[in-house]
Structure 1
Amino acid sequence: MNKFEQLGLNEQLLKAINDMGFETPSEVQEKAIPVLLANETDMVALAQTGTGKTAAFGFPMIQKIDVNSRTTQGLILSPTRELCLQIANELKLYSKHIPSLNVAAIYGGASISEQARQVKRGAQIVVATPGRMKDMISRRMVDISKIEYCVLDEADEMLNMGFYEDISEILSHTPKEKNTWLFSATMPKEVARIAKKFMKEPQEITVGTKNSAAENVQHEYYVVGGRDRYLALKRLADTNPDIFSVVFCRTKRDTQKVAERLIEDGYNAGALHGDLSQNQRDIVMKAFRAKQIQMLVATDVAARGIDVDDITHVINYQLPDEIETYTHRSGRTGRAGKSGISMVIITKSELRKIHSIERIIQQKFETKKIPTADEICEIQLYHLASKIKNTEVNQEVENYLPAVNDVLEGIDREELIKKMVSVEFGRFVEYYKKAGDINVSANGSPQDFSSEGKVRYFINVGSRDGYDWMVLKDFLREQLQLGKDDIFKVDVKESFSFFNTNAEHSEAVLQMFSEFKMDGRFINVEISKNTRGGGGSRRKGGGGNKRGKNKGFGEKRFGKKGGKGNFSGGGKRRSRKKF
């Protein structure tokens, strides 16, 4: 039995839910939907981004609308064009089996007269941005004097963007006897002020702890000099070859500048900010959803419309002006039950902000170092070897093999592998040959990341095998019978990973994985030369593999593709395609 059936939804909505493949409601849906269906009440719902809030208010509103009337009965206000369109499209999917229900999206950057025509044709639900809605009301293009349901979605963000006066003006044109549902990730005083002024004895539901962050997001910070911020960003990207990320900047100017520099340096990057036309924004978001863009550089305002479940990393190139905004940023990753990583690049003067954020999100940050040149080159080398191993052979190559074999005659297997890898890997080594350590401690000197008493390991499983940092950590803890703090600094790549333990556990780790098989495949764990985290330079042939050294890049070292799911991003690394 589909669990949505227990919430009181009608047959038409349940059919749409089944079509979309939804089986289990999220916590906010489970708490909000029955209350909103059964009562005529105001509601304040506090839930993080990515928890299914649109369905939480969308399903009850659709079910309560009188489809036989062409009057506008539901109004949903959202902070950005992207989010406005996203909500409208989702409501259309939910109501696909209710042909008489019409939804209109009203937002800036598009024809106001065409939007007015859509409303007049009988839109029972209007989804709008505050600025455009206020404009249309003043021009008498829309009538909201008879609405029965009003939703303020992402209320904290709308108020952060300065929409308080606009919202007050809009709500003054609505009837007093209506239900107002306020959905917000955080509850700053401005949101409480709205609730007090426009709502009557609202029911309150909270998913998780107020202002807290998702538990499946790992929070990290890196301290560098102010001039090295961009170099740090590049190194973090190079350490995660399959990164699929949103990079946050404070201003539109910085957003455009960073995106342009990334593109010039050969990364799959794009910019998303308020100075782009609607068509430009649509092109960028389409490319991002298709994973043609791996690093989307965005402002906080523009990112409100991003609804992509597979984002692996959020990178705070600069911390937001309002500390509460960090919760919105980190909520871009770790969605739909997956885990994610939120990275913060800071200077020593910003360390106090980290402690402020920890108090708000009620989670601790992990101090990490920007990987060294050697560590990055090692990770890229493994990535390249894995990429070669997993590439499907184009059968048309057969026709050219005799000539190729003539050219390569006399080169033995090991030498051929070295040359083949060097073709693409050589430029990486050349770039990082003279790269120094850019980490800085709180007092401005190079950071002391003491490795005493800690051991770092390489393991030949990664996201391709269905692991993310949480799953791998749980797997290792289960196999080794260790506590949750005994496995740390877990870094998962596409086909391999790194993790740390204290030195006292080293013998047990190597013994456990000396001849360890899973689904017929050997899982190799070997000691890394570097124990400091964020990668590691493996010792040749050393560690826990007692079956001998594997020369080259054979199957035992990198393993067969196994497991389910892919937690990593996509797209080809270092492509020169621009957007």
Structure 2
Amino acid sequence: MNKFKELGLNEQLLNAIKDMGFETPSEVQEEAIPVLLANDTDLVALAQTGTGKTAAFGFPLIQKIYPDSRTTQGLILSPTRELCLQIANELKNYAKYVKGLNIVAIYGGASITEQASQIKKGAQIVVATPGRMQDMINRKMVDISKIEYCILDEADEMLNMGFYEDINSILSHTPEEKFTWLFSATMPKEVARIAKQFMHTPMEITVGTKNSGSENVQHEYYVVSGRERYLALKRLADANPDIFSVVFCRTKRDTQNVAEKLIEDGYNAAALHGDLSQNQRDMVMKAFRTNQIQMLVATDVAARGIDVDDVTHVINYQLPDEIETYNHRSGRTGRAGKSGISMVIVTKSEMRKISAIERIIKKKFEAKKIPNAEEICEIQLYHLASKIKNTEINEEINDFLPAVNDVLKGIDRDDLIKKMVSVEFSRFANYYKNAKDLNAESSNSSNSFSASEGTVRYFINVGERDGYDWRTLKDFLKETMNFGRDDIFKVDVKESFSFFNTDANHTEAILATFSEFKMDGRYINVEISKNARENSNRGRNGKDRKRRSDRKRNTKNFKTEGKFGSKKGNSSRKKNKRNF
């Protein structure tokens, strides 16, 4: 609270901030808020999606508005109706203690007469999409001739969507002496043109590097045949049991087709594209925000404005036509200080685009392999074991236990565990039985998802549940082993376990360090991944194998549940909501 107070915010806003539980301002808020409060100036602020830009312009705007006047004083333009509604709702939360301040959202897909009525009652701040704002200006339903502040939010996205002419026309109806605040994730030449045309010697704030990708996002690519994109998508989902993702397609048709296939195959998926009605879009987004949907398949236009902080993966089912659009896609994950992964499924003919994107976002991609059946089965078994271990006991089953015990009488513990796991695992394993390698050869793809010659893949019994992501787990392993930054690679963090790779010459040291390793009273176990053991000849002696086997029995890692690709058995999988 004191840090927000130091920015110059008034008591009304500070009380609202306290109610919302905000403690520390983000970097863009620390940079922008004092400047906007202390100066009457135009501003260009460059910061990645998910860095708190709404509060960065929202707090100063609310503090500068005169609530006693019913005149529209502030106009915020945003690219999509979802983002428009989101901004309006956030501003209402910020202004909850500002008596008489009215904020109205106007956007397509809703009654234009109702929105005009709300503005007529007095709206000091209007949040609008360019298309609906232009329509209302043409119908003389709104007056923005006296606004003092105009905010262009996600300016690069609005221009990518073709709103330049609308923005140009809208701004022509605003006074010359207003102040314009432009917030954008990237600075393409079109945004620079807007700044030059409509702003007067604007101050500039840059958080991070212009056009760069978020530091919290890991970028990966997988090379496959174009005919096998969908199979590759399913395997990536199956290899990440707790995935909560946005899957990007180029066209509305592909978006709908991919979503329908995923649903048929038992995944919790839905499509989001421009052919949906507003009511359908609202239902899909509500389901996504409440985790009822784990794979949201979307077009670039429809996904703009999605603001969900917990997205674990962005999957580029197809690369966008415009390279700069990739930055917006990957910005849907790694938000609010959390880490995320951006995956790209590419064909060999598209490999040149990876290098082009790397130059734009100033981040390197990691070449990875589509996991094979054995790797997926191993991950899913560990996932099931963890799920069983962490499930809370429902005491209501006590009345049924005598009958259950009678049915299970005579089965020893090990066989019972095998049978219990096999109920879920057999269908899953049968689907992937004889599954072929989906990976296409690529001159740029020298890395491997699993152990390759000279490298070893390990299992470790910590994951997201323990507060780790791919970045912090890598740091922990480097510090524990006193390794260099490149000695630990291919870190894949799941809910309660993880995998990582090292060069083979580190195996002895890794296993020795973690043979009796305790942290906070808990044993941290590291083992060579099953798949890695079978695919590499390490010459381990019998004593080491016995030590790993003992640790494995002690930790009861008897392994996991999976998602299934066949249509058979879909009803039971859907009932279990696929347990991503």
Shorter-chain TM range is: over 0.9
In 2, the alpha carbon distance for the partners of 1:471 and 1:531 equals: 23
In 2, the alpha carbon distance for the partners of 1:58 and 1:70 equals: 19
In 1, the alpha carbon distance for the partners of 2:175 and 2:386 equals: 62
C-alpha displacement of 1:542? 9.0
Task: Give 1:335-484 correspondences, 5 Å limit.
Answer: 335-442=335-442, 451-484=452-485
In 1, the alpha carbon distance for the partners of 2:69 and 2:396 equals: 62
3-state SS of the aligned residue for 1:549?
helix
Structure 1 residues 142 and 543: alpha-carbon distance in aligned structure 2, compared to 1, 3 A threshold: farther
C-alpha displacement of 1:530? 3.7
Q: Is residue 493 of structure 2 the alignment partner of residue 492 of structure 1? A: yes
Task: Give 1:206-285 correspondences, 5 Å limit.
Answer: 206-285=206-285
Task: Give 1:63-82 correspondences, 5 Å limit.
Answer: 63-82=63-82
In 2, the alpha carbon distance for the partners of 1:444 and 1:16 equals: 51
Which residue does 2:88 correspond to in 1?
Answer: 88
Does the Cα contact within 8 Å between 2:367 and 2:446 map onto a contact in 1?
Answer: no
Letter in 2 for 1:546: R
CA-to-aligned-CA distance 1:118-176 (integer Å, 9 cap, x gap): 11111000000000000000101000000000011111111111111111111110000
In 2, the alpha carbon distance for the partners of 1:397 and 1:542 equals: 44
Letter in 2 for 1:463: E
C-alpha displacement of 1:544? 7.9
Q: Is residue 505 of structure 2 the alignment partner of residue 504 of structure 1? A: yes
Does the Cα contact within 8 Å between 2:248 and 2:300 map onto a contact in 1?
Answer: yes
Does the Cα contact within 8 Å between 1:106 and 1:132 map onto a contact in 2?
Answer: yes
Does the Cα contact within 8 Å between 1:221 and 1:345 map onto a contact in 2?
Answer: yes
C-alpha displacement of 1:518? 1.3
Structure 1 residues 413 and 448: alpha-carbon distance in aligned structure 2, compared to 1, 3 A threshold: closer
In 2, the alpha carbon distance for the partners of 1:547 and 1:577 equals: 34
Which residue does 1:135 correspond to in 2?
Answer: 135
TM-score, normalised to structure 1, is: 0.93
CA-to-aligned-CA distance 1:394-420 (integer Å, 9 cap, x gap): 112111111111111111111111111
C-alpha displacement of 1:556? 5.8
In 1, the alpha carbon distance for the partners of 2:532 and 2:385 equals: 23
Does the Cα contact within 8 Å between 1:441 and 1:447 map onto a contact in 2?
Answer: no
Which residue does 1:521 correspond to in 2?
Answer: 522
Structure 1 residues 39 and 16: alpha-carbon distance in aligned structure 2, compared to 1, 3 A threshold: same
Letter in 2 for 1:164: Y
3-state SS of the aligned residue for 2:429?
helix
Q: Is residue 124 of structure 2 the alignment partner of residue 124 of structure 1? A: yes
Structure 1 residues 133 and 304: alpha-carbon distance in aligned structure 2, compared to 1, 3 A threshold: same
3-state SS of the aligned residue for 2:105?
strand
In 2, the alpha carbon distance for the partners of 1:141 and 1:415 equals: 73
In 2, the alpha carbon distance for the partners of 1:334 and 1:2 equals: 27
C-alpha displacement of 1:66? 0.7
In 2, the alpha carbon distance for the partners of 1:445 and 1:394 equals: 48
Task: Give 1:295-314 correspondences, 5 Å limit.
Answer: 295-314=295-314
C-alpha displacement of 1:302? 1.2
3-state SS of the aligned residue for 1:514?
coil
C-alpha displacement of 1:2? 2.2
Which residue does 2:562 correspond to in 1?
Answer: none
Structure 1 residues 508 and 388: alpha-carbon distance in aligned structure 2, compared to 1, 3 A threshold: same
In 1, the alpha carbon distance for the partners of 2:313 and 2:443 equals: 28
Letter in 2 for 1:88: A
In 2, the alpha carbon distance for the partners of 1:415 and 1:573 equals: 24
Does the Cα contact within 8 Å between 1:108 and 1:132 map onto a contact in 2?
Answer: yes
In 1, the alpha carbon distance for the partners of 2:170 and 2:533 equals: 55
CA-to-aligned-CA distance 1:365-387 (integer Å, 9 cap, x gap): 00000000111011111111111
In 2, the alpha carbon distance for the partners of 1:501 and 1:251 equals: 40
3-state SS of the aligned residue for 1:491?
strand
Q: Is residue 350 of structure 2 the alignment partner of residue 319 of structure 1? A: no
Does the Cα contact within 8 Å between 2:79 and 2:130 map onto a contact in 1?
Answer: yes
Which residue does 1:190 correspond to in 2?
Answer: 190
Letter in 2 for 1:391: T
Letter in 2 for 1:337: G
Worse overlay, 246-255 or 232-241: 246-255
3-state SS of the aligned residue for 2:276?
coil
TM-score, normalised to structure 2, is: 0.93
Structure 1 residues 512 and 266: alpha-carbon distance in aligned structure 2, compared to 1, 3 A threshold: same
Number of residue-to-residue matches in the alignment: 560
Structure 1 residues 542 and 439: alpha-carbon distance in aligned structure 2, compared to 1, 3 A threshold: farther
CA-to-aligned-CA distance 1:99-132 (integer Å, 9 cap, x gap): 2110000000000000001111110000000000
Structure 1 residues 156 and 542: alpha-carbon distance in aligned structure 2, compared to 1, 3 A threshold: farther
In 2, the alpha carbon distance for the partners of 1:366 and 1:543 equals: 32
3-state SS of the aligned residue for 1:114?
helix
Letter in 2 for 1:215: E
Which residue does 1:567 correspond to in 2?
Answer: none
C-alpha displacement of 1:546? 3.2
Letter in 2 for 1:516: F
Structure 1 residues 547 and 228: alpha-carbon distance in aligned structure 2, compared to 1, 3 A threshold: closer
Structure 1 residues 245 and 51: alpha-carbon distance in aligned structure 2, compared to 1, 3 A threshold: same
CA-to-aligned-CA distance 1:234-264 (integer Å, 9 cap, x gap): 0000000000111111111111111111011
Task: Give 1:96-175 correspondences, 5 Å limit.
Answer: 96-175=96-175
Structure 1 residues 132 and 515: alpha-carbon distance in aligned structure 2, compared to 1, 3 A threshold: same
CA-to-aligned-CA distance 1:435-457 (integer Å, 9 cap, x gap): 10000012799998882221111
Structure 1 residues 558 and 104: alpha-carbon distance in aligned structure 2, compared to 1, 3 A threshold: farther
Structure 1 residues 175 and 517: alpha-carbon distance in aligned structure 2, compared to 1, 3 A threshold: same
Question: More helix per residue: 1 or 2?
Answer: 2
In 1, the alpha carbon distance for the partners of 2:552 and 2:36 equals: 64
Does the Cα contact within 8 Å between 2:367 and 2:444 map onto a contact in 1?
Answer: no
3-state SS of the aligned residue for 1:305?
coil
In 2, the alpha carbon distance for the partners of 1:212 and 1:545 equals: 48
CA-to-aligned-CA distance 1:308-353 (integer Å, 9 cap, x gap): 1111111111111110011111111111111111000000011000
Q: Among the aligned pairs, what percent are the same residue?
A: 79
Letter in 2 for 1:311: V
Does the Cα contact within 8 Å between 1:526 and 1:543 map onto a contact in 2?
Answer: no
Does the Cα contact within 8 Å between 2:241 and 2:383 map onto a contact in 1?
Answer: yes
Does the Cα contact within 8 Å between 2:211 and 2:361 map onto a contact in 1?
Answer: yes
In 2, the alpha carbon distance for the partners of 1:442 and 1:104 equals: 52
Structure 1 residues 254 and 239: alpha-carbon distance in aligned structure 2, compared to 1, 3 A threshold: same
Aligned-residue CA RMSD in angstroms? 2.4
Which residue does 1:564 correspond to in 2?
Answer: none
In 1, the alpha carbon distance for the partners of 2:543 and 2:240 equals: 24
3-state SS of the aligned residue for 1:546?
helix
Does the Cα contact within 8 Å between 1:241 and 1:573 map onto a contact in 2?
Answer: no
Structure 1 residues 340 and 38: alpha-carbon distance in aligned structure 2, compared to 1, 3 A threshold: same
Worse overlay, 407-416 or 91-100: 407-416
In 2, the alpha carbon distance for the partners of 1:94 and 1:545 equals: 61
Worse overlay, 389-398 or 79-88: 389-398
In 2, the alpha carbon distance for the partners of 1:373 and 1:241 equals: 14
C-alpha displacement of 1:465? 1.5
